[in-house]
């Protein structure tokens, strides 16, 4: 497929902007990636000239400039993906689950995962400074016994026990959104230290307790469009930070 619009992704290696590249690879639409290879901070600092939020992805689609990966994916699909199957029809039974996971990935999953990681870092700093971190009160039930990241991972694992993809029997953009959240969520839910290179290398198995997520991640990794996107967005492999 080709488009009249020039699409430019302001990118940082190993970050959420890879979702946009992956979607465009699935659609067969050409795109340009703008980043400084091997320089995470340098890539980040260049973003501010394009958007005051200074976060990636920032995407230019013709004259349109957008942030927020799920909105970018929806916009690209509404423009170029009709009939691609990457977005179920609005009257299809898969549509509610598609919408839920398209937005759950950022709205709940990553916000809880990052909150867990931040809390862990804070507790470590407090302990190193000789301050005893306060006890977190536990509510009853499974949800009460789990951290936010663990709740996300259990919910995703249980969803994937019922169907192969987040929306149903077919791969959609909701899977692209969830993939990044699960990649970060796995080590955080397992209580591991946050180390970008280890997380992105996929060498460590953080998914022992989540076999359905593990098979989902393996199926995603086998997709040619995913492989092309990882090659273009991380040409030298996972970044160090």
Ligand X SMILES: N[C@@H](CCC(=O)N[C@@H](CS)C(=O)NCC(=O)O)C(=O)O
Is residue 58 a contact residue for ligand X (CB under 6 A)? no
Residue 122 φ/ψ, nearest 5 degrees: -65, -45
Is residue 34 a contact residue for ligand X (CB under 6 A)? no
Is residue 233 a contact residue for ligand X (CB under 6 A)? no
Rounded CA separation 173/212 (Å): 19
Query: Which stretch, 33-41, 61-69, 131-139, 217-225, contacts ligand X (CB under 6 A)?
Result: 61-69
Least Cβ distance, residue 66 to ligand X (angstroms): 9
Direct distance between the N- and C-terminal alpha carbons of the chain, in angstroms, rounded to an integer: 35
Nearer to ligand X, 34 or 68 (CB): 68
Residue 233 φ/ψ, nearest 5 degrees: -90, -20
Residue 84 token pair: 């691609």
For 220, which DSSP code?
H
Nearer to ligand X, 11 or 87 (CB): 11
Least Cβ distance, residue 8 to ligand X (angstroms): 16
**What angle (nearest 5°) sits at the alpha carbon of residue 227, between those of residues 229 and 158?**
100
Tell me the three-class secondary structure of 16-74, residue by residue: CCHHHHHHHHHHCCCCEEECCCCCHHHHHHHHHHCCCCCCCCEEEECCEEEECHHHHHH
Residues 82-111 that bind ligand X (CB under 6 A): 106
Q: Residues 69, 159, 172, 233: which binds ligand X (CB under 6 A)? A: 69
Is residue 10 a contact residue for ligand X (CB under 6 A)? no
Least Cβ distance, residue 172 to ligand X (angstroms): 17
Least Cβ distance, residue 69 to ligand X (angstroms): 4
Nearer to ligand X, 44 or 92 (CB): 44
Nearer to ligand X, 106 or 119 (CB): 106
Is residue 68 a contact residue for ligand X (CB under 6 A)? yes
For 137, which DSSP code?
P
Query: Which residues make up the interface to ligand X (CB under 6 A)?
Result: 15-16, 54-57, 67-69, 106
């Amino acid at each position: 497929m080709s488009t009249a619009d020039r699409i430019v992704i302001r990118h940082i290696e190993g970050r959420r902007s890879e979702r946009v590249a992956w979607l465009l690879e699935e659609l067969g639409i050409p795109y340009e990636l703008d980043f400084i290879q091997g320089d995470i901070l340098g890539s980040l600092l260049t973003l501010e000239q394009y958007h005051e939020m200074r976060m990636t992805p920032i995407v230019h689609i013709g004259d349109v400039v957008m942030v927020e990966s799920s909105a970018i994916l929806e916009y690209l699909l509404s423009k170029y993906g009709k009939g691609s199957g990457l977005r179920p029809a609005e009257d299809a039974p898969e549509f509610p689950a598609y919408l839920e996971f398209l937005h759950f990935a950022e709205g709940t999953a990553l916000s809880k995962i990052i909150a867990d990681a931040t809390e862990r870092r804070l507790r470590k700093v407090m302990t190193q400074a000789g301050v005893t971190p306060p006890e977190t009160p536990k509510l009853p039930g499974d949800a009460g016994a789990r951290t936010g990241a663990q709740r996300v991972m259990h919910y995703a694992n249980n969803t994937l026990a019922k169907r192969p993809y987040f929306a149903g029997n077919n791969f959609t953009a909701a899977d692209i959104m969830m993939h990044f959240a699960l990649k970060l969520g796995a080590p955080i839910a397992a209580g591991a230290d946050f180390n970008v290179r280890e997380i992105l290398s996929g060498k460590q198995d953080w998914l022992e307790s989540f076999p359905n997520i593990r098979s989902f991640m393996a199926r995603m990794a086998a997709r040619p469009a995913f492989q092309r996107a990882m090659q273009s967005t991380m040409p030298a492999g996972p970044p160090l930070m």
